[in-house]
Structure 1
Amino acid sequence: MPVTAGKIAEFLGAPTWGDPGREVTLIAKFLPGQKGSLSFCKWDKADFFSSIELSVCAVVICPQDLPETALKNKTLIPVPDARLAFIKSANHFFPWRKFNPGIDPTAIIAPGVKIDPAASIGPYCIIKEGVSIGAQAKLSDRVTVHSNCRIGNNVIIGSGTVVGQDGFGYMADEQGNQMPFPHMGAVVIEDGVEIGANVCIDRGALDDTLIKYGTKIDNLVHVAHNVVIGRNCLIVCLAGIGGSVVIGDNSYIGLSAVIKNQKKIGSGVMIGMGAVVVKDVPDNATVVGNPARLLEKQALKDAPSW
């Protein structure tokens, strides 16, 4: 459905440079772009002006410091953060995620499970006893949710993910035989969480494993028992989070990072890719390396000697 540049600008609380009545029907990359499309651009490339004429987009969300005359024959919407404004506009005017409420007939659902009528359960999912799933939650194909786990509203879980498997906890008896520690907790996933494909999230032992509001977890991540992940965190693929780790709000765990069990990670933390975290990390710190160090200390260690 066509939408005008003026309507998009109004949604963003921004002005328009050029024709506010110009319509767009889709979103596209800035280069080469597509006719009748909405896109965004950056203002940080040396060849920016030479590439402008190659774009065929109709409406472009741009940085505020871009010269008003830079894009001829286009309508501009200047904003403080062009990428963020584009994301907001694309999700509002051109929603790209398909959502079909209902339960696929191949799914296996235990008796007494509570699934909101507005949820979507994909093919070959397995939902065990005592589970609850909120409104607008979407489980892709072959997701398994073990007993008593709770999934909130607007949660997305990718293909092949397992929620609530027993955690890895053993202790040797007098003869050296490894005995499993009881895992009687559950997994609680709060509203707005998104989880990728083939993720494993273990149930808690005597407490629950908890993933708080708005956190996003990439594919192939392991979250061990009793972990607590704060609000609006980003956890990138292949990360491994050991048992009973606590992560504060708005933290970032990089590609293939590993966090040792029982460590506390503050809020606003950035853990670099491949980092091996063996100590607690304070709020707003950046750590890198193996073993992970505060970035300032790591930079000093790696500095050349003269």
Structure 2
Amino acid sequence: MFEISLAKIVSETNNLDLIGSDRIVSGFSSIVNADLHSIVWIKNYSFLHQLKNRNAVVLTEDCNVAEELRDQTSVLLAKSSSRFIVAQIHTVFFKKQDSFSKNYADEWRSNGFEIGDYAFIGPKVQLGQGTVVGPNVSLIDKVVISNNCIIQPNTVIGIKGLGLEWSGSHYLEFPQLGSVIIGTHSEIGPLSTIRKGALVDTTIGNHVMIGSLCNIGHNVTIGNAAILTSSICVSGSVSIGERVFLGVGSTIKNKVTIGDSATVGQGCVVVKDVAPNKTVVGNPARVL
């Protein structure tokens, strides 16, 4: 585990002030899992209500957040882009690579689970009863799969997303701290990728069907009984409602919301929100 003082972080990071006392921290945490020795990024005041543990160190660029918390905890106040500074601190002080050194697939097999040949299962994986993991599947990190799911061959779940910030000479990695949570009776098709969340979880509901060659970005939420056919790209922080149908080869821009029971046509490029019960087609998507 990494352990470093806030004072050292501030001394080696430009455009950052420490408000409050120094303490030892071990890395970044999501806003819902914060503890005394973690740093939480709160970009602005609208997110402050989500912080349940006000003993955690907060990094923000919002002076109103800093003012409200100054008598409760230590605050790292950014004088430039706080997202860039989060990536800088993570890369310099806390970055670690995904570990592939220990495969727990045989332990799951010994507990009666059906795990295909050459599957990789990392240490922070939970599988529900009746779930089947196909050959060559990789469940990398922080993956929770509920009961009676099927993970088809050559699929990767729990890999890091491309959360990057440009430093002027190289890329800095934004921390990827969330999990992938998959509900009951869902099926993930072959050769698909589901990326773990950054500061929140990537969440897939119950009875969701995802076909082959799909990419699900970090922080995506997919509602119950949604169908994603094949060769679909869902960018980061997209919200897909219940019973949504995504046609073959469709692409969803980051941070778009698709309402319940909407239909997205084959090859459609969705760049703005889709209302519930609507059908969209084309590039860019338009309502029929």
Is the 1:117–1:135 contact (alpha carbons within 8 Å) kept by the matching residues of 2? no
Kindly state the Cα deviation for residue 146 of structure 1 after the two structures are TM-superposed. 1.0
- Matched to 2:197, the amino acid is G
| CA displacement, residues 15-74 of structure 1 (integer Å, 9 cap, x when unaligned) | xxxxxxxxxxxxxxxxxxxxxxxxxxxxxxxxxxxxxxxxxxxxxxxxxxxxxxxxxxxx
Matched, 1:109 2:104: yes
Matches of 1:292 and 1:192 in 2, distance apart? 30
Match 1:215 to one of 208, 218, 223: 208
Aligned to 1:271: 264
Say whether residues 1:128 and 2:131 are aligned partners: no
Query: Partners in 1 of 2:109 and 2:172 — Cα distance?
Result: 35
> Which residue matches 1:228?
221
- Do structure 1's residue 153 and structure 2's residue 147 form an aligned pair? yes
Q: In structure 1, what is the Cα distance between the partners aligned to 2:113 and 2:147?
A: 8
- Matched residue, 1:141: 135
CA gap of 1:116–1:257, structure 2 versus 1, over 3 A, is farther
Q: Is the 8 A contact 1:118 1:135 kept in 2?
A: no
* Conserved 8 A contact 2:105-2:119: no
- Please give the alpha-carbon distance, in whole angstroms, between the structure 2 residues aligned to 1:157 and 1:200: 11
Cα distance in 2, alignment partners of residues 110 and 155 from structure 1 = 16
Q: Output the aligned Cα RMSD.
A: 1.8
Within a 5 Å distance, the mapping from 1:25-64 to structure 2 comes to none
Indicate if the aligned counterparts of 1:116 and 1:135 stay in contact, CA closer than 8 A. no
Of 180, 184, 188 in structure 2, the residue corresponding to residue 187 of structure 1 is 180
1:177 and 1:213, CA in 2 relative to 1: closer, same or farther beyond 3 A? Answer: same
Opposite residue 286 of structure 2, the aligned amino acid is R
Percent identity at matched positions?
37
- The superposition leaves residues 214-263 of structure 1 with CA deviations (integer Å, 9 ceiling, x where unpaired) of 00000000000000000001101101000000000000000000000000
From 163, 168, 175, the equivalent of 2:162 is: 168
What residue is the counterpart of 1:197 in the other structure? 190
Residue 253 of structure 1 aligns with which residue? 246
The CA deviation at 1:273 is 0.3
Deviation for aligned residue 1:169: 1.1
Matched residue count = 187
SS at match of 1:150: strand
TM-score, normalised via structure 2 length: 0.62
Kept in 2, the 8 Å contact 1:214–1:232? The answer is: yes
**Higher RCO (Cα < 8 Å, 6 or more apart):** 2
Distance in 2 separating the partners of 1:155 and 1:216: 10
**Cα distance in 1 between the residues matched to 2:179 and 2:257:** 21
Q: Distance in 1 between matches of 2:177 and 2:202?
A: 11
